[in-house]
């Protein structure tokens, strides 16, 4: 139980840390941009195949 209590105490500090928040947001933005680029490249390939 002590280990779980320690984890519970550490998690709010990580969530409130602005540096980690910005890093997580940047990572999510990069992942979303990568997915969007893959989708757009696929669409452009389909359009190029038709035209």
Q: Give the whole-angstrom CA distance, residue 29 versus residue 27.
A: 5
For 2-51, write each residue's pLDDT tens digit: 555 555 565 555 556 889 999 999 999 999 999 999 999 999 999 998 87
Find the Cα–Cα–Cα–Cα dihedral 25, 28, 29, 31, rounded to 10°: 160
Provide the pLDDT for residue 22: 95
Provide the pLDDT for residue 50: 83
Provide the pLDDT for residue 17: 82
């Amino acid at each position: 139980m002590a280990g779980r209590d320690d984890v519970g105490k550490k998690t709010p500090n990580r969530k409130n840390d602005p540096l980690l928040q910005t890093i997580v947001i940047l990572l999510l933005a990069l992942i979303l941009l990568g997915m969007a680029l893959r989708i757009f490249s696929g669409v452009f390939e389909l359009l190029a195949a038709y035209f």
